[in-house]
Structure 1
Amino acid sequence: MNFIIKNTWDSLPVRHEPVKIRFSPGDGGMLMEVSAPLFNDPAAPSGPPGQPFPGLWNYEVVESFFLNSTNEKYLEVEVCPHGQHLILLLSGKHNAFMQALPLSFSATINRDRWKGEALLPWRYFPPGVNKMNSYAIHGSGSERTYEALYPVPREDLVEGQGPDFHRLEYFQNFSLQSIMGESWVQPDSDLWKTAE
């Protein structure tokens, strides 16, 4: 299943080759593949590649969120062209109860492009995922750019509003079965029992 981020968070068209995200079945989880232009702004995080990096959203990242809209439990996945990553489990908007979980993620840079591949374990997904959204962020200072697969519609914008990727009401329908097959049943997760 392929997705292309064609808009900024406030529904303006992006002015570069768009970020592409692909989800497919993986061994014990779902593969997330990113193909994106490399802006190299800001500079790389100071943490080692392949490791979680707190505050990764302040750097150049691509993010995907997987939501159970009935109870606002969701998984946030952040990946960076330099190999760092960040996983957050949230119960309620902005309320992370677990973060910096390990992740099998690798990224490669080829001149002005980067590709990344992460295997998202099933235990990271909340039960009953039915919506998702994805984002891309790059740039520094006044050039900081926030892009969204499902942006805030222009008619919903209010003066002074800024980007907030936790606007769950703008997430769109999504089913893990659409990737894994209609008969697939999501495995139970020990991690989400702590959020109940």
Structure 2
Amino acid sequence: MEFKIEHTWNGFSVSHDPVTIRLAPANAGLFMDVTAPFYNDPPAPPSDPGKPFNGLWDYEVVEAFFLNGQTEQYLEVELCPHGQYLILLLCGRRKILKQELPLKFEVSRTSAQWNGRAHLPWSYLPPATDQFNAFAIHGSGVARTYEALYCVPQHEMQKDQQPDFHRLEYFKCFDLKTLMGEGWKQPVSVFWAP
């Protein structure tokens, strides 16, 4: 399963090779592979690679959101080209249930591109995940750029509207059975128990 982020959050085409996210079956979860341009802007967060970093959204990052559209339970995965990551489990828009969970994440980069691979355990995905969106952020100050797989349509833009990746109404249908097979059932998770 492959997704390309080809637009800014407000619907304009990006002017570079698009960020690509690939999802593939893994042992007890999913692999999330990222290929993205490397800007090194902003510079690396003040944290060791391979560790969670709260506030990673203020740096260069690629994000994926896995949502149960009925319950508004969702997993937010943030990956940074410098090796930091952030996992958030949310129950309702912006309502954090768990944060800074551990993640197996490897990254490599050249001066122009970075590649990352994260292993997402099934326990992190909300039950009956059925919607998805993905985002990429880079740049500093007025050059800060926000990109979205499924963006806000331009005809719905409001004056002075700012990027908001938690606009769940713009997420689109996502069927894990397409990836895992028709007979597959999502494992039950202790994190999402009522």
Task: Answer whether TM exceeds 0.5 for this pair.
Answer: yes
Q: Deviation of residue 191 (structure 1)?
A: 0.5
Q: Structure 2 matches for 1:175-190, cutoff 5 A?
A: 175-190=175-190
> Alignment partner of 2:178: what SS?
helix
Correspondence for 1:158: 158
CA distance in 1, matches of 2:47, 2:191: 25
Correspondence for 1:111: 111
Correspondence for 2:67: 67
> Alignment partner of 1:155: what SS?
helix
- CA distances 1:155-178 after superposition (whole Å, capped 9, x unpaired): 000001000000000000001111
CA distance in 2, matches of 1:177, 1:46: 39
Correspondence for 2:143: 143
Select between 173-182 and 82-91 the one with higher mean Cα deviation: 173-182
Size of the aligned set, in residue pairs, is: 194
Correspondence for 1:91: 91
Q: Deviation of residue 38 (structure 1)?
A: 0.2
The answer for unaligned runs of 5 or more in structure 1 is none
Q: Deviation of residue 71 (structure 1)?
A: 0.9
Q: Deviation of residue 15 (structure 1)?
A: 1.0
The answer for unaligned runs of 5 or more in structure 2 is none
* TM-score with structure 1 setting the length: 0.98
* TM-score with structure 2 setting the length: 0.99
Q: Deviation of residue 91 (structure 1)?
A: 0.3
Q: Deviation of residue 95 (structure 1)?
A: 0.6
Root mean square deviation of aligned Cα: 0.6
CA distance in 1, matches of 2:3, 2:148: 11
Q: Deviation of residue 182 (structure 1)?
A: 1.2
Q: Deviation of residue 179 (structure 1)?
A: 1.0
- CA distances 1:77-116 after superposition (whole Å, capped 9, x unpaired): 0000000000000000011111000000011111210000
Is 1:29 matched with 2:16?
no
**Counterpart residue type for residue 135 of structure 1:** F
CA distance in 1, matches of 2:182, 2:103: 26
Correspondence for 1:101: 101
Correspondence for 1:53: 53
Identity of aligned residues (%): 54
**Counterpart residue type for residue 88 of structure 1:** L
